[in-house]
């Protein structure tokens, strides 16, 4: 416990000493974004969505089958040997076998386009229901592949998260009702993990800039690890002019990141070590009136819903456009950019496209911060598709989800829509568990395109995680959480659920050497 007398008269609580301290240097980290989720500008939308499932199955099936045969080959249950069947429809009644396919969850609460059309219910704004999971037995799990689908039952299903789009291998037998009783269930598990520094020609030598600074200030009590470079993760800044309850905290956040706040010792030890800021979504929020609170107002069973804003034309109300939020974000960024590089992921509320994968927010939204971005390429739009070797901009606006390499660590991050959607399918509240499940399913957005709007990929499905990241963060979550998970081949992934700043006023700091996590909470009383 600290008393007032202790702190007075020390540090900055004294007369100005008259000497102008010199500016500290901020360090830099190695940064290389990957363009895995960039889409072409002229992409067509004529294709069917079914190809996505096919691509996903083709990519993950070999891994799942390898794991399954390793686990189940030669198993004998009740005198019968387990056999592998090629297709879902080849399952015969009474025969013990295993098969791999895609899971499909049939839930009556899921928004279904067929229902909307058949009941002639055209709703211009997307409805958002809180939970698809009804828990009353109406939901059913099915296994599907190119040949057909079969319903899965069994207690073994309760132990695992299941959502539409994850690839599994199940072992069991078909019972009299034509349903497949599941005895055991397997996923593809974590994909192979690349080495650190696999992409950037790395600074393999130990950073000489790693300061081993221990406390020197008079009253800094707590022991701290040697400070190395840190990355700041924040999400849900939600600049708006309607809701100002956290405006002071936003200012404090800016000062904290800029390094203007706090003592010189803290500035030297901690703040100058923050080398990059990653904003994981929801930087701009709509005005409070239009903000659709999930599971609150929308009533899917009736046609009209009470909270529908007036004057909706083309699905949005143009008279309520307010430029102030993006201006606030722009001035925040332009203050911060001279000293710190920023990576900006769009989120559900940001002005980017609504379907997954969200493309980068256009530089036109940031008139002041635009100077820190690379200039538009001289060629026509097609040049943009080529992820050239040019340096990423100081202010890097990237896709959501996003993959990149920072200081040698492979990082995968999303703005939160994928996790929120998976959350609606399952009963549990364990978001970290769901993140872990997504890694083990090897799919970042398994529910796309079922309930998560997505682009109809034709040749390649980028949501499949080919190489296991070292760090997986998801933004705009209701609260902070972190965990390290391990894979069968020794992979280790640090999962971070980044809380929404507007709710919790927290920033997450990740150490770039050890991938340890700290959180800083900002309070203005």
- Using CB under 8 A as the binding rule, the residues of this chain from 231 to 260 that contact other proteins are 244, 247-248, 251-252, 255-256, 258-260
Minimum gap (Å) between residue 381 Cβ and other proteins:
10
Q: Which helix (H) or strand (E) holds 2?
A: none
Only one of the segments 52-60, 86-94, 130-138, 266-274 lies at the binding site for other proteins (rule: CB under 8 A); that segment is 266-274
Written as six digits, the tokens of 177 are 């009702």
Would you call the peptide bond into 449 cis, given omega within 30 degrees of 0 as the criterion? Answer: yes
The reply on whether position 216 binds other proteins by CB under 8 A is no
Binding-site member from 152, 167, 337, 468 for other proteins (CB under 8 A): 337
Which of 289, 484 has the CB closer to other proteins? 484
Q: In the chain, how long is the greatest CA-to-CA distance? A: 88
Of 292-331, binders to other proteins (CB under 8 A) are 331
Closest CA to 277 of 39, 524, 507, 523: 507
Would you call the peptide bond into 348 cis, given omega within 30 degrees of 0 as the criterion? Answer: no
Only one of the segments 130-138, 169-177, 299-307, 510-518 lies at the binding site for other proteins (rule: CB under 8 A); that segment is 510-518
Which of 358, 369 has the CB closer to other proteins? 369
Binding-site member from 263, 317, 385, 467 for other proteins (CB under 8 A): 263
Which H, E and C letters describe 81-124, residue by residue? ECEECCCHHHCCECCEEEEEEEEEEECCCCCCHHHHHHCCCCCC
Which of 303, 324 has the CB closer to other proteins? 324
Which of 183, 342 has the CB closer to other proteins? 342
Binding-site member from 205, 390, 459, 525 for other proteins (CB under 8 A): 525
Q: How does strand 31-34 pair with strand 149-153?
A: unpaired
Minimum gap (Å) between residue 507 Cβ and other proteins:
9
SS3 320: helix
Only one of the segments 162-170, 184-192, 444-452, 478-486 lies at the binding site for other proteins (rule: CB under 8 A); that segment is 478-486
Binding-site member from 89, 262, 355, 487 for other proteins (CB under 8 A): 262
Closest CA to 326 of 355, 343, 346, 356: 346
Which of 74, 375 has the CB closer to other proteins? 375
| Residue 26 buriedness (CB in 10 A; 0-12 / 13-18 / 19+) | middle
Of 420-439, binders to other proteins (CB under 8 A) are 429, 432
The reply on whether position 372 binds other proteins by CB under 8 A is yes
Which of 24, 153 has the CB closer to other proteins? 24
Q: How does strand 140-144 pair with strand 31-34?
A: unpaired
Q: Which helix (H) or strand (E) holds 403?
A: strand 402-406
Of 373-392, binders to other proteins (CB under 8 A) are 373-376, 378, 380, 391
Of 389-408, binders to other proteins (CB under 8 A) are 391, 393-394
The reply on whether position 220 binds other proteins by CB under 8 A is yes
Rounded Cα distance between 151 and 160, Å, is: 16
Minimum gap (Å) between residue 334 Cβ and other proteins:
9
DSSP symbols for 30-52: -EEEE-TT---TT----S-THHH
Minimum gap (Å) between residue 468 Cβ and other proteins:
19
The one-character DSSP state at 198 is S
Which of 291, 331 has the CB closer to other proteins? 331
DSSP symbols for 263-298: -HHHHHHTGGGEEEEEEES--B---TTT---TTTS-
Angle at 498 between CA 481 and CA 160, to 5 degrees: 50
Which of 460, 479 has the CB closer to other proteins? 479
Minimum gap (Å) between residue 445 Cβ and other proteins:
23
Which of 27, 358 has the CB closer to other proteins? 27
Of 9-48, binders to other proteins (CB under 8 A) are 11-18, 20-21, 23-26, 28
Only one of the segments 85-93, 144-152, 317-325, 515-523 lies at the binding site for other proteins (rule: CB under 8 A); that segment is 515-523
Rounded Cα distance between 391 and 411, Å, is: 18
Of 275-294, binders to other proteins (CB under 8 A) are none
Contact 309, 289 (CB under 8 A): yes
């Amino acid at each position: 416990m600290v008393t007032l007398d202790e702190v007075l008269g020390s540090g900055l609580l004294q007369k100005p000493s008259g000497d102008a301290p010199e500016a500290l240097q901020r360090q830099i980290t190695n940064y290389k974004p990957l363009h895995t989720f960039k889409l072409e500008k002229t992409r067509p939308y004529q294709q069917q969505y079914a190809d996505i499932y096919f691509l996903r199955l083709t990519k993950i099936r070999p891994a799942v089958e390898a794991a399954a045969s390793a686990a189940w080959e030669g198993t004998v249950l009740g005198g019968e040997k387990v056999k592998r069947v090629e297709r879902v429809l080849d399952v015969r009644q009474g025969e013990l076998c295993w098969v791999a396919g895609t899971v499909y969850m049939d839930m009556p609460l899921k928004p279904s386009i067929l229902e909307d059309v058949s009941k002639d219910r055209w709703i211009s704004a997307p409805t958002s229901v809180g939970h698809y999971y009804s828990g009353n037995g109406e939901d059913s799990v099915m296994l599907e592949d190119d040949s057909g689908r079969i319903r899965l039952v069994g207690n073994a299903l309760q132990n695992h998260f299941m959502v539409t789009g994850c690839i599994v291998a199940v072992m069991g037998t078909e019972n009299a009702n034509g349903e497949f009783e599941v005895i055991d269930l397997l996923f593809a598990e974590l994909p192979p993990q690349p080495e650190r520094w696999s992409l950037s020609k790395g600074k393999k030598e130990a950073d000489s800039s790693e300061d081993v600074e221990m406390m020197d200030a008079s009253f800094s009590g707590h022991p701290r690890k040697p400070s190395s470079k840190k990355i700041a993760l924040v999400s849900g800044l939600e600049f708006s002019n309607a809701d100002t309850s956290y405006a002071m905290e936003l200012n404090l956040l800016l000062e904290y990141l800029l390094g203007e706040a706090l003592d010189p010792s803290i500035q030297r030890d901690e703040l100058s070590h923050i080398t990059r800021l990653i904003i994981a979504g929801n930087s701009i929020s709509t005005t409070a009136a239009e903000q659709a609170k999930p599971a609150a107002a929308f009533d899917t069973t009736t046609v009209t819903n009470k909270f529908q804003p007036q004057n909706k034309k083309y699905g949005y109300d143009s008279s309520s456009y307010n430029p102030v939020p993006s201006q606030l974000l722009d001035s925040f960024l332009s203050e911060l950019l001279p000293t710190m590089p920023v990576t900006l992921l769009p989120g559900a509320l940001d002005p980017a496209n609504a379907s997954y994968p969200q493309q980068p927010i256009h530089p036109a939204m940031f008139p002041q911060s635009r100077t820190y971005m690379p200039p538009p390429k001289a060629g026509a739009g097609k040049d943009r598709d080529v992820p050239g070797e040019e340096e990423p901009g100081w202010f890097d606006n990237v896709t959501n989800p996003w993959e990149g390499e920072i200081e040698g660590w492979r990082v995968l991050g999303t703005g939160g829509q994928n996790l929120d959607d998976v959350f609606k399918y399952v009963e549990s509240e364990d978001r970290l568990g769901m993140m872990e499940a997504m890694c083990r399913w090897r799919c970042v957005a398994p529910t796309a395109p079922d309930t998560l709007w997505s682009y109809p990929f034709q040749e390649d499905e980028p949501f499949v995680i080919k190489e296991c990241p070292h760090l997986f963060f998801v933004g705009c979550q209701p609260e902070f959480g972190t965990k390290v998970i391990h894979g069968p081949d020794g992979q280790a992934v640090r999962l971070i659920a980044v809380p929404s700043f507007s709710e919790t006023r927290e920033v997450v700091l990740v150490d770039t050497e050890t991938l340890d996590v700290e959180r800083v909470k900002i309070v203005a009383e």
